[in-house]
Chain A
Amino acid sequence: EAGVAQSPRYKIIEKRQSVAFWCNPISGHATLYWYQQILGQGPKLLIQFQNNGVVDDSQLPKDRFSAERLKGVDSTLKIQPAKLEDSAVYLCASSTHAPVYGYTFGSGTRLTVV
């Protein structure tokens, strides 16, 4: 089966600019997650979707980050305006409703804010 697709692979922006990341989960996976992984740290959950509804966004900095999953398939994560500390890899993962086989992660988008 095809994996989780993410784009772009890399992005460099200046602080205060905006950026958007795209994720296409594995077909049939109802649950989609966005994680932020800062270099040397474990992935930090930003938001979890179940179909097109938000399950958990408690760690999403809502003053600058937004995410949507229209039609319950693809998802976009946006940062506006970006700060230097947003430099990280943004990982998208998907799973079935009961992830006994774990999440499948995409390759991520490496964001550098200068």
Chain B
Amino acid sequence: GQQVMQIPQYQHVQEGEDFTTYCNSSTTLSNIQWYKQRPGGHPVFLIQLVKSGEVKKQKRLTFQFGEAKKNSSLHITATQTTDVGTYFCAVGNQFYFGTGTSLTVIP
């Protein structure tokens, strides 16, 4: 299956700080999806990106698809404790999941 790397694996931030996670592929992607998984929960769909250079926003979350469609990022502005969880990207026709970035927000 397709493989994607996510960095960082873990991130601890003070509440109010920004957070960014990156998803990188060695091959060109047709699309990419982002999911959030709360501790003990199941993945919840956040967004899908399809177009080269696409940028989408959801409140404090900004998602970007690289121009070459080989990487993507998720940026959270002014983190809150409710943002705690693991963020996964998923790629390919069968949506293979990346390794995830675990976010801890310190109040």
Interface residues of A, Cβ cutoff 8 Å to B = 33, 35, 41-45, 48, 55-56, 58-59, 91, 93, 99-108
Q: Which residues of B contact A (CB under 8 A)?
A: 1, 33, 35, 41-48, 88, 94-100
A65 to B100, CA, bound (A): 26
Closest chain A residue, CB of each to CB of B50: A100
Nearest B residue to A108 via CB reads B42
* A and B contact pairs by CB, cutoff 8 A, 13 listed: A33-B95, A41-B100, A42-B97, A42-B100, A43-B43, A43-B88, A43-B97, A44-B97, A91-B42, A103-B33, A104-B45, A105-B42, A105-B44
A42 touches B42 (CB 8 A): no
Query: What B residues does A100 contact at CB under 8 A?
Result: 48
B88, A42: Cβ atoms closer than 8 Å: yes
Option from A59, A102, A106, A107 in Cβ contact (under 8 Å) with B45: A102
CA separation between A99 and B99, bound complex, in Å? 21
Q: Which residue of B1, B44, B100 is within 8 Å of A59 (Cβ)? A: B1
Residues of B contacting A106 with CB < 8 Å? 42
Cα distance A1–B44 when bound, in Å? 16
* Interface pair B97/A101, CB less than 8 Å apart: no
Q: Which 3 A-B pairs have the closest CB atoms?
A: A102-B45, A42-B97, A105-B42
The contact of B95 among A58, A91, A103, A108, by CB within 8 Å, is A103
Determine the distance from Cα of A105 to Cα of B35 in the docked complex, in whole angstroms: 11
Nearest Cβ on chain B to A95's Cβ, whole angstroms = 9
Q: Which residues of A lie under 8 Å from residue B43 when comparing CB positions? A: 43, 91, 93, 103, 105
- Docked CA distance A41–B1 (Å): 16
Complex alpha-carbon distance, A12 and B33, angstroms: 33
**Bound form: Cα–Cα A55–B48 in Å:** 22
A99 / chain B contacts, CB cutoff of 8 Å = 48, 95
